[in-house]
Structure 1
């Protein structure tokens, strides 16, 4: 079994969670995404030994780049949000989807999904990211009883899909709904010719790590951000 590479997952990330625009500045590719968070507002080097001029305040250091890390550290960029890349075969995950209408996939979010996302800190800027993604995608709601209680977004590029924005309403957590939503993403991926489902999770989120590992996800590598330390 040949797992997707981290580079493939980064391509999937850019396709399914895109910035508003890209800008080349010196040796750097800048992502510009307003209030959409780090993933759409970071720079990545376009050469092996980049000049730091024009790199901006937030850098995504992808994989083992010891020389770049040392260079950024010396320039006052400090580590922020170390993350892990995880993948699972979509068909294996789809097999974990429970019988019955616990999850419903659609082409856009319903009102209750927007409420759940908003309560979890996923506001208009991140919803705009989902909307502008020019890739096969789906919005999936999860139910407890007859009412939507959680939601997730998933998109694909080629053979790899990636899930984002998993959120379960506070009063409905610890009922297995997060697991069902992740499995539903695997089902959607398999139905849309994406052999693999991937995700990104921060190293600090140990609860999510436990869930994903238990569901069969494999950690294939990591990355972190470096942010310019503000002057005191």
Structure 2
């Protein structure tokens, strides 16, 4: 039986979801089923919202297939029961997500050189091209557009040439950087 849920881990995981949102979230107890419409794994994965059984896993698989998605579950480290049940059902771990956290003060001890970084929304054409080269599809760009809170693209420059791109969004007191290329 599932002991901890997505919401048990509070603001940080909620901010993660709000800064990289699915098209829709369907509550199908004991799951949250996300409709990602090709926007990536995090926006298409199911997560538990209460106690679950093996039969519930099969129901979640069917719900995701009904959305045209490959069944996929997002498992938090503390949920070993779900991890084992999915492994027993033939699931593998793919694309683990790491969240690195620090304060703004720690992150901003040095100022970047002038004109080395630009914050723009909507993104410039060069940023969209850089994302496309890195495999960030239109569907993932649509995830960025769906963010309701403050958001921006970040263009990095080095020696007067584009050097990198990312997407930043804020929810509450947390900022997340996604789609770094």
TM range (shorter): 0.7 to 0.9
Could you tell me how far 1:126 is from its partner in structure 2?
0.8
Q: Which has the higher contact order (CA 8 A, sep 6+)?
A: 1
Could you tell me how far 1:12 is from its partner in structure 2?
1.0
Does 2:21 correspond to 1:18? yes
Does 2:109 correspond to 1:95? yes
2:78 alignment counterpart: 64
Query: For the aligned residues, what is the CA RMSD?
Result: 1.7
Could you tell me how far 1:107 is from its partner in structure 2?
2.0
- Which structure shows the higher strand fraction? 1
Of 50, 53, 57, which residue of structure 1 is paired with 2:58?
53
Which blocks of at least 5 consecutive residues in structure 2 are unaligned?
1-7, 62-70
Q: Structure 1 residue runs of 4+, over 3 Å off? A: none
Maintained 8 Å contact 2:30/2:51: no
* Whole-angstrom distance in 2 between the partners of 1:141 and 1:96: 18
* Whole-angstrom distance in 1 between the partners of 2:101 and 2:10: 13
* Whole-angstrom distance in 1 between the partners of 2:97 and 2:78: 13
1:28 alignment counterpart: 31
2:94 alignment counterpart: 80
**What does residue range 59-208 of structure 1 map to in structure 2 within 5 Å?**
59-167=73-181
Which blocks of at least 5 consecutive residues in structure 1 are unaligned?
168-232
